[in-house]
Structure 1
Amino acid sequence: MQESQTKIYRKQNKIYTKNADSGEKVYGEQLLTEEGKQYRNWQPSRSKAGAAVMKGVNLGISHDDEVLYLGAASGTTVSHFSDIVQEGFIYAVEYSDTVIKKLVELAEKRENIAPILGDARKPEEYEEMVQGEVDVVFQDISQSDQPEIFLKNAEKFLKPNGIGLIAIKAHSISTSKEESKIFEEVKEKLTQKFEIKKEKMLEPYEKNHLFLKMRYKQ
């Protein structure tokens, strides 16, 4: 097992995180044990962040970081972030009261996840639940106002020079514009507050998605 990024491991063209809940799977992923340590296969077809790692993006998330995760869904990617930040914490925001039930079940087994039922467009509604500024903001929300949602949360919660990670879905923003034009417009909005450090299209794992790693300039 080779550690390719902070707490992310590679073996035979697959990526893994060290299982924080030994013996337990979250979404049917493969478990692998080496030298007494258990690892979970991070499936890039099930995770935008996992796809980005497979495409060569170093997420830059450290073991003790605090992360604000927007669009947490049932917790597939959140669980891998939980493995990475075993000495940190994740504030996981999800809008659907149905979907969040699985996220709550995950958080009951992992002490470094706080599930938050909330609308990411209205960060003021959950700001009391987020303890201070965070090191990383990650967003995976398929809405037409993806960049505006991201900026609003970064301005409220992200530390100066913090990391911004966003998976942009072109077809959620517009079905009439060219994909390249959509991405350029989104980047233009985000670079008002961020410096883009890395950008990758997520094919073949995800179609019409651009992943950005950024540094907060404010």
Structure 2
Amino acid sequence: MSEPVLPEGVERRSIDGNERLATRGEPVYGEPTDGEWRAWNPNRSKLGAMLELGMDTGLEGGDDETVLYLGAASGTTVSHVADFAGPTYAVEFAARPARDLLEAADSRPRLFPLLKDARKPESYAHVVESDVDVLIQDVATRGQARVALENKRFLAEDGRLLLAVKARSEDVTRDPGEIFAEVRDALSVADGYEILESERLEAYHADHLGIVARPR
């Protein structure tokens, strides 16, 4: 594994006797802490896994970095993002995890939960800025490439897409490698994305692919 490129506000620290990625913030999912620092568990976070694997996410951190996060669930990963980034819009469709997401946002003034469907970006277009720096997607649905393409409207020209592809959400019967190839092809249409890097996340998440891309 190569050394991860870490954004400002993310550090590698010794917590619980282990070297871990960490951010400053209130704990959300029972993760170990050391003072104001909370460990970022890559086994529970696809973005954390991408950083651990040394993928160049393009995340810089800081108050000026805006993020749109699709598939925020109960806030495990997006809470870490809001610890180091600026305004972070967190889209989650299911009501039950959204309640936990709201709790995670209580201590994070830069985290804005949206109970919306990532497949219908028009439903939150009036809230989300039109030039976010980073689009992070971790949704369990068919048509994950289509979701990324439809939400490209929010991404700045020099922005980044950080996509965690779940093969089993597309088709549980097919070879994940075939699905990953199809997703890459679907993203690479003329008005879509240029893929900068992709890597299997098997060390932390079975049948997942991490993709870093930028809009064409």
Q: Same fold (TM over 0.5)?
A: yes
Q: How many positions carry a matched residue from both structures?
A: 205
Q: Would the aligned equivalents of 2:130 and 2:156 in 1 still touch at CA under 8 Å?
A: no
Alignment correspondent of 1:199: 198
2:196 aligned with 1:190, yes or no? no
* Residues in 1 aligned to 2:7 and 2:112: alpha-carbon distance in whole angstroms: 22
Identity, in percent, stands at 40
Q: Would the aligned equivalents of 1:52 and 1:202 in 2 still touch at CA under 8 Å?
A: yes
2:66 aligned with 1:66, yes or no? yes
Q: 1:76 to 1:204 in 2, by over 3 A?
A: same
1:26 to 23, 28, 35: 28
- Amino acid across the alignment from 2:193: F
Residues 68-103 of structure 1 deviation map (CA, whole Å, 9 limit, x = unaligned)? 100000101011101121xx1111000011210111
Structure 1 gaps, min length 5: none
2:47 to 30, 46, 49: 49
Secondary structure of residue in 1 paired with 2:118 = coil
Alignment correspondent of 1:40: 38
Alignment correspondent of 1:150: 148
* Residues in 1 aligned to 2:37 and 2:79: alpha-carbon distance in whole angstroms: 12
Secondary structure of residue in 1 paired with 2:80 = helix
Q: Would the aligned equivalents of 1:61 and 1:84 in 2 still touch at CA under 8 Å?
A: no
Q: Would the aligned equivalents of 2:5 and 2:54 in 1 still touch at CA under 8 Å?
A: no
Structure 2 gaps, min length 5: none
Q: CA deviation at 1:177?
A: 2.3
Residues 128-176 of structure 1 deviation map (CA, whole Å, 9 limit, x = unaligned)? 111332111110011111110111011x211112100100011111123
Q: 1:119 to 1:31 in 2, by over 3 A?
A: same
* Residues in 1 aligned to 2:21 and 2:55: alpha-carbon distance in whole angstroms: 12
Secondary structure of residue in 2 paired with 1:105 = helix
Alignment correspondent of 1:15: 21
* Residues in 1 aligned to 2:201 and 2:175: alpha-carbon distance in whole angstroms: 17
Alignment correspondent of 1:79: 79
Alignment correspondent of 1:97: 95
CA RMSD of aligned residues (A): 1.7
Instruction: Report the TM-score when normalising by structure 2.
Output: 0.89
Q: Would the aligned equivalents of 2:5 and 2:55 in 1 still touch at CA under 8 Å?
A: no
Instruction: Report the TM-score when normalising by structure 1.
Output: 0.89
